[in-house]
Structure 1
């Protein structure tokens, strides 16, 4: 039974899943890696915020392709507990992508963050996402049923450990986001421009930084 659970997890990562209808997916680690690679390429060449924003649109395109995959995966509910944990690991990497792309898009439109700061922020996000991608790749190796040197319990324990590590990464991504937005908002406040900053990031009631 546990071998079937692990095989289900492998299918989640590599081929297809049935959720009312069958849909074909790509390797989720490649989706996240695509965002990382795109970011690394475009920010090295950009010298102005406007250039960054134009180049960032290429990263957004890759993100939207991945988002379609993650949205469909979220809709899969008929999974046993351990396969669901594998699903949650994949979705945590998707959540880190969401945090990066959605918030960085706003930061690029904030005049209180400099080009050098925006470059450093992008590198910070991609570092977190790269770490998450590496964990997903490790997970693909762990749950491969052909690797008989590990017991089912050992595999499941490592899947749980991977989930914990990815949860910490997601939390770090949120903390990183809040710190950077807080810096920009503080500068806007000092320049008596808080209203415009809140309009960009959210009202007092909506803010999460």
Structure 2
């Protein structure tokens, strides 16, 4: 993914350099060049935010709340940072849905993990297992985002618009399955947590009952 981002930045820089070479002294063209430079700066800032977001994913979950709270707007940054072959493809509803699923996957796991870890009713081994399951799911979902980037980027793949839409449909279904799996996994883990909490409460009640006799 990092190499892909570097390629996008280099392509953008090359484009601006070419425009700089061709620009004349005419006022309108000078103004357009300034706009291009400004857009490049904005684009580089967007890519920097994207990289920071993925670094958070790979380096730990302590600051992942920045994503779920909106400080790192995954949807907007991702879409704004792409040079789409056909603008209509980038507007395709399922592209936004794929990114929403990715954001939901990050947010919902973080909430569930914090709950299970703080509750004290799961062993360290069980918490590690939950983390391992999620890491596999996350790695696969990031592969999907990498493929989505290539599908939406003109220089990456030779595909017709129809082929790109079909690829987006496939990625959409896969991300949908992943979020359904995650929610079912969390639901089942939550049921175990509730049963254990209930068992502990019953044990505490029995203990108090015997102590009063």
Bucket of the pairwise TM-score, normalised by the shorter protein: 0.5 to 0.7
Structure possessing the higher relative contact order (Cα contacts under 8 Å, 6 or more residues apart)? 1
Contact 1:32–1:129 under 8 Å retained in 2: no
Please give the alpha-carbon distance, in whole angstroms, between the structure 1 residues aligned to 2:158 and 2:94: 22
Alignment TM-score, normalising by the size of structure 1 = 0.61
Contact 1:112–1:184 under 8 Å retained in 2: yes
Please give the alpha-carbon distance, in whole angstroms, between the structure 2 residues aligned to 1:135 and 1:159: 10
In the alignment, which residue of structure 1 is the partner of 2:207?
Answer: none
SS in 2 for 1:60: coil
Select 2:113's aligned residue among 104, 115, 136.
Answer: 104
In the alignment, which residue of structure 2 is the partner of 1:187?
Answer: 196
How many residue pairs end up in the alignment?
Answer: 153
Matched, 1:34 2:34: no
Select 2:146's aligned residue among 137, 141, 144.
Answer: 137
CA RMSD of aligned residues (A): 3.3
In the alignment, which residue of structure 2 is the partner of 1:124?
Answer: 133
Q: Which runs of 5+ in 2 are unaligned?
A: 1-7, 13-41, 80-86, 204-213
Please give the alpha-carbon distance, in whole angstroms, between the structure 1 residues aligned to 2:55 and 2:179: 18
Alpha-carbon distance, 1:101 to partner: 0.7
Which has the higher mean CA deviation after the structures are superposed, 24-33 or 131-140?
A: 24-33
Alignment TM-score, normalising by the size of structure 2 = 0.60
Cα distance change of structure 1 residues 100 and 175 upon mapping to structure 2, 3 Å threshold? same
Alpha-carbon distance, 1:148 to partner: 6.0
1:190-205 equivalence runs, <5 A:
190-192=199-201
Cα distance change of structure 1 residues 152 and 90 upon mapping to structure 2, 3 Å threshold? same
Alpha-carbon distance, 1:25 to partner: 3.0
Larger radius of gyration, structure 1 or 2?
A: 2
Please give the alpha-carbon distance, in whole angstroms, between the structure 2 residues aligned to 1:27 and 1:125: 25
Please give the alpha-carbon distance, in whole angstroms, between the structure 2 residues aligned to 1:188 and 1:97: 26
Alpha-carbon distance, 1:188 to partner: 1.4
Please give the alpha-carbon distance, in whole angstroms, between the structure 2 residues aligned to 1:86 and 1:168: 15
Alpha-carbon distance, 1:149 to partner: 2.6
In the alignment, which residue of structure 1 is the partner of 2:66?
Answer: 64
Cα distance change of structure 1 residues 166 and 123 upon mapping to structure 2, 3 Å threshold? same
Contact 2:95–2:168 under 8 Å retained in 1: yes
Alpha-carbon distance, 1:146 to partner: 2.6
Alpha-carbon distance, 1:191 to partner: 2.1
In the alignment, which residue of structure 1 is the partner of 2:95?
Answer: 86
